Amino acid sequence: MLHFLSVQLMVLLTTSVYMEVPPSGSKVRIIIESRMGKQTHEGVIISPAGNGLVTIKLQNGYNLSHPLEGIDSIELIENPKESFESENTKTENDMNQDLPLVILLHTGGTIASKVDYETGAVIARFEPDEILDSVPELRPIARIEAVLIGNMFSDDIRPRHWNQMIEQTEAAFERGAKGVVITHGTDTMGISAAALAFSWSGDGGRPPGPIVFTGSQRSSDRGSSDARENLIAAIYLAGHGLNPSGNGDSTMIVMHENSSDGVLSILPGISTRKMHSSSRGAFKSIDIGELGRITVEGSDCSIEMIRDTGEQRPIGKPTLFDESISIAEIIAGPHLRSEHITALASTKPNAIHVHGTGLGHLPISDPNGDSPENPDVQRALNLYIEDGGIVVMSTQTVFGPVHLDVYSKGREQQEMGIIGHGSVGPPESSLVKLHYLLSRFSNENSKIKSIWSTSLCGEIIDIQ
């Protein structure tokens, strides 16, 4: 791990003269030799992109790396604004005690990735202090301490990692943090954000301060990366935003509002989904709507909250998820067959979570008498429910509620014992709520069914 100490690198150039490379965070002017002749560049020294390179962040946000032996001179323009101390997994900027303390929990993902120029692939390589070093705009915003949970791409994250994040957020607030930022891969960031929201507020409480998730769609060393502004906005919101009410804002996701720079959305962690595989403005709140937005210009940020989440709940304690819980997921559609359900049921899952069609439907009817597979699906689900299993319905549609009262099929599904009526938000949030309830009320299926339609932390609202 790189250390943010005042370290000077001595480089022997071909002229046999040693050159001092100022420490990370220094503003410099370098003159380099290139095919176009001598060129001059100004920027801030950051962690080098590879061995034998000097890397600076230019004013336009791009990174410039150049071989040491090709540099004619390095002129120091300005010393680092802050000195950093590094101690194993954490780095704290304590130069200005008037700044709020924000603890950065690092799990990995594209925000912590860069291109491996040997293979061309994006790999998770940045350590927490490297991220802080590459974004000097963070220094006047907050005192920052970084804790390394892992360097994982988010598709590898499991409920055990939710618990690690939960425990670290609790520890952060206990040591006096104003807020917490969790850097996370974007693919499953909405799931983890929902998990921490239910953990902190599912029983009626709230976290002591903001818990903000952020990531990036482009790796941090690309000129088109959204990582820089996402991180600045997230740190600012955690350090200067209002404390949550616990009713829809227990966790928040901060990402670019669209493809342009400067404006970022504040989204409720309980109802946010990644809507595009690569666009910078990929995240949208499903059904509930955004909480606000942040405007970023360098270190200058402004917060505009556009949704009132109501009266603050009392500060609570988080609930951990039972990591032994097993939930099987199925997708309703023309290829769903009873043997698929039977095979899943044979693994003894605690529940089956269904991504239903439309308002939350399954292929269980055979009006033409030519599709016996459909009644077979119903029989397989009936057997699972009769054996004590829980079946929860969500919907594949992007927006809108699960509404099992509209059609006779929905009413029939409710008579079977399928729950989920009234749910809104993405299926991922429904899945997390199911796991949370199973963790709290193990072997109390009737209680889970009775409180499913209750809004525990703002995840259910009235919509048309």
Tell which residue, 246, 186, 187, has the closest CA to residue 211: 246
User: What element of type H or E holds 39?
Assistant: strand 37-46
> What DSSP character marks residue 188?
T
Q: Which residues contact 443 (CB under 8 A, 6 or more apart)?
A: none
Tell which residue, 184, 96, 82, 67, has the closest CA to residue 132: 82
186 is catalytic: yes
As given in the structure block, the two tokens for residue 225 are: 């990366």
Torsion of CA 461, 323, 274, 152, to 10 degrees: 150
From the candidates 55, 107, 169, 186, give the one annotated as an active-site residue. Answer: 186
As given in the structure block, the two tokens for residue 196 are: 């921490």
Q: What are the C-alpha distances in Å from 133 to residues 52, 93, 352, 406?
A: 19, 11, 45, 56
CA angle at residue 424 from 419 to 428, to 5 degrees? 85
From the candidates 57, 114, 178, 274, give the one annotated as an active-site residue. Answer: 274
Count of all residues that appear for the chain in the document: 464
- Rounded to 5 degrees, φ, ψ at 289 are 95, 160
- Is residue 200 a contact partner of residue 207, using CB atoms and an 8 Å limit? yes
Q: How many Å apart are CA 413 and CA 441, to the nearest integer?
A: 23
342 is catalytic: no
Torsion of CA 422, 426, 428, 432, to 10 degrees: -40
Q: Could you give the residue ranges of the DSSP H alpha helices within 387-421?
A: 408-416
274 is catalytic: yes
15 is catalytic: no
> What DSSP character marks residue 418?
-
Euclidean distance between the first and final Cα of the chain, in Å?
52
From the candidates 91, 110, 169, 395, give the one annotated as an active-site residue. Answer: 110
Rg (CA), the chain: 25
Catalytic residues: 110, 186-187, 274
